[in-house]
Every structure is written in C-alpha cells, then in structure tokens.
Amino acid sequence: MKPIRWTLHATRELSRREIDRAEAELTIRQPDAIAPAPPPRAFRQRRYLDKALQEQMLLRVLVEETDDELVVVTLYKTSKFKKYEAGQSE
C-alpha cells in the first residue's frame, strides 16, 4: 500500500471545505469509482454521509499516483451525483 502525501493546497482545502480527513483517505483507498484526468492524475470518488451537512455527498479527490506514493492534489465535495457518476450504476 503506497503512502499518501498531502500537498499544502489539499491540506488547506480539507479545512476550508470542511472535509473530514478520514473520509478523504477512505475515498483514496476504497473509491466507488476512478474518473480519468490528465495523466498521471485521476479523480477517486465516493459517496458518503457528510456530518456537517447531514446529507449524502460525493467526495472527489484528485490524486497523482507515482511509483512510490499517492499525492493528493486537491479535493471537494458535491451533491451533483448525475454530473460525476454518469454511466455508473447508483
């Protein structure tokens, strides 16, 4: 299992967007889906219950995978399931 390294930007976004770090790491390790982005990056995404909002949200984490580690570039949560889960079963 590769270690996860957080960029300063991603760490700031955790706080600014009120995203639980444990939820983000679970999304990285056990995504519901992986969406392509310009290589070598990809969005790892997962539905979860957001405790602050008390509703189901989609967490998207942009990860750059290297031979040695997973680098978290940025992340955000959204309620636009249809936009980002197109073609997936719900």
Q: What ranges do the domains of the chain cover?
A: 4-84
* pTM of the predicted model as reported, rounded to 2 decimal places: 0.92
Q: What is the predicted pLDDT for the residue at 86?
A: 77
State yes or no: pLDDT of 11 exceeds 60.
yes
pLDDT in tens, 16-31: 999 999 999 999 999 9
Query: Based on C-alpha coordinates, what's the Rg of the chain?
Result: 13
pLDDT band of 88, cuts 50, 70, 90? low
Whether the Cβ atoms of residue 23 and residue 90 lie closer than 8 Å to each other:
no
Q: What is the predicted pLDDT for the residue at 89?
A: 41
CB atoms within 10 A of CB 31: 18
Three-state secondary structure along 11-71? HHHHHHCCCCHHHHHHHHHCCCEEEECCCCEEEEEEEEEECCCCEEEEEEEEEEECCCCEE
Q: What is the predicted pLDDT for the residue at 90?
A: 39
Q: Kindly state the average pLDDT of the residues 74-84.
A: 95
